[in-house]
């Protein structure tokens, strides 16, 4: 779909950033039984991000978090702490989506309903507003939108292309009053989207998000899409991911060219104590200034994933983060982080 231009632009994740927003796992969240496992992941994540940019950290108990990070020899000078209650830590989906309007940054505070009313979200839905009121985003204006939209459900190339899963955005548990054309019109107006790629296939067992795009396929520089490929015909995902791969081959850039497709390896099946499969994926990487942080799972496929992503982002440091504890709560690295583009924090 190509329509009239407006002054809004949703930047690509690989554009310059001021920082990354995180929310610290705490005892009143679903992380409670896993705190000894998940906190070291957050410590490592904060150490890596703070090498390159600021960390904005929301927590109901920031003093306790400061002590934990100091004991882990984390440099607190690159971290901004905010005392804010939160239901959970999936900042990708309840954090602000930052656009440029006439070249100036602006935050859009979309509605968050716990991935279609699956989980409590009353506190998380207020975090962007509370952070803004606390001065976390300097003088950057905030716009509230009544649209239910999670950051993990959209990918942008920074030039008007938006890749999104139909299973999520068109689900009746998000915006049941809007059809595809109406959603495209809304995203065009708010995000400057002009070329929509609706992914109709692909899922991960154990995923609660209705097939978020950041677990399946990611827009990357130079007309590239990195995507998960299942090469095991006996795996339950094989048929759907084969159809997804075929659809990705059919997609075209705004200039009419096929995308360069980079397959990511398929991690081995992992299950929780109830034998429920967990949504392990290498597509859930986080791009930051001069580096890419990649979820790894302590298995042989990790090395191939790091190599593939390194080829997509030449010149950036590729850093693996052990996300085995993160997928225990059915998400991964990109899901627990939200980048803040350049200019927002100034």
Which pLDDT tens digit goes with each residue over 166-201? 999 999 999 999 999 999 999 999 999 999 999 999
pLDDT value, residue 91 = 98
| DSSP letter string, 312-330 | HSTTSEEEEEE-HHHHTTT
Per-residue confidence (pLDDT) for residue 286, from 0 to 100: 98
pLDDT at 283: 98
pLDDT band at 5 (very low <50, low <70, confident <90, very high): low
Mean pLDDT of 219-248: 98
Task: State the pLDDT at residue 67.
Answer: 97
Q: How confident is the model at residue 1 (pLDDT cuts 50, 70, 90)?
A: very low
Query: pLDDT tens for residues 15-59?
Result: 999 999 999 999 999 999 999 999 999 999 999 999 999 999 999
- pLDDT band (50, 70, 90) for residue 346: confident
| Mean pLDDT in residue range 297-322 | 98
> Please, are residues 22 and 69 in contact by the beta-carbon 8 Å criterion?
no
Q: Render pLDDT for 98-156 as a digit per residue (tens, 0 to 9).
A: 999 999 999 999 999 999 999 999 999 999 999 999 999 999 999 999 999 999 999 99
State the Cα–Cα distance between residues 92 and 75, nearest whole angstrom: 24
DSSP structural state of residue 121: -
- With a cut of 60, say whether residue 2 has pLDDT above it: no
Average pLDDT of the chain to the nearest whole number: 96
Q: Domain 8-341 has what CATH class? A: alpha beta
Q: What is the pTM of this model?
A: 0.96
What is the C-alpha separation between 262 and 258, in angstroms, rounded?
Answer: 12
Angle at 336 between CA 331 and CA 340, to 5 degrees: 145
Tokens of 134: 């606390």
Strands 224-228 and 260-264: parallel
**Residue boundaries of the structural domains of the chain:** 8-341
Per-residue pLDDT at 6 exceeds 90: no
């Amino acid at each position: 779909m190509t329509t009239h231009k407006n002054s809004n632009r949703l930047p690509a994740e690989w554009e310059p950033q001021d920082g990354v927003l995180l929310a610290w796992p705490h005892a009143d969240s679903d992380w409670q039984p896993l705190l000894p496992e998940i906190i070291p992941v957050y410590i490592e994540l904060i150490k890596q991000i703070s090498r390159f940019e600021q960390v904005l950290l929301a927590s109901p108990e920031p003093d306790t978090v400061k002590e934990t990070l100091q004991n882990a020899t984390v440099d607190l000078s690159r971290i901004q702490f905010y005392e804010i209650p939160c239901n959970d830590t999936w900042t990708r989906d309840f954090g602000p989506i930052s656009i440029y309007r006439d070249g100036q940054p602006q935050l859009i505070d979309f509605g968050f309903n716990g991935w279609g009313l699956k989980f409590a979200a009353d506190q998380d839905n207020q975090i962007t507003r509370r952070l803004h009121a606390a001065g976390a985003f300097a003088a950057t204006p905030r716009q509230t939108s009544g649209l239910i939209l999670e950051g993990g459900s959209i990918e942008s190339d920074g030039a008007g292309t938006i890749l999104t899963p139909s299973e999520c955005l068109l689900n009746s548990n998000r915006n049941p009053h809007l059809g595809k054309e109406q959603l495209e019109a809304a995203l065009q107006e708010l995000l400057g989207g002009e070329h929509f790629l609706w992914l109709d296939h692909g899922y991960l067992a154990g995923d609660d998000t209705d097939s978020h795009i950041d677990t399946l396929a990611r827009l990357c520089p130079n007309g590239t899409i990195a995507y998960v490929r299942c090469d095991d015909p006996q795996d339950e995902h094989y048929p759907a991911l084969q159809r997804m791969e075929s659809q990705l081959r059919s997609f075209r850039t705004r200039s009419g060219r096929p995308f360069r497709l980079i397959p990511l390896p398929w991690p081995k099946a992992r299950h929780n104590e109830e034998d429920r499969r967990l949504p392990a994926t290498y597509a859930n990487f986080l791009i930051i200034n001069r580096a890419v942080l990649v979820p790894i799972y302590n298995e042989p496929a990790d090395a191939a994933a790091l190599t593939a992503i390194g080829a997509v982002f030449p010149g950036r440091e590729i850093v693996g983060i052990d996300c085995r504890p993160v997928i225990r709560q059915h998400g991964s690295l990109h899901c627990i982080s939200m980048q803040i583009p350049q200019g927002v924090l100034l």
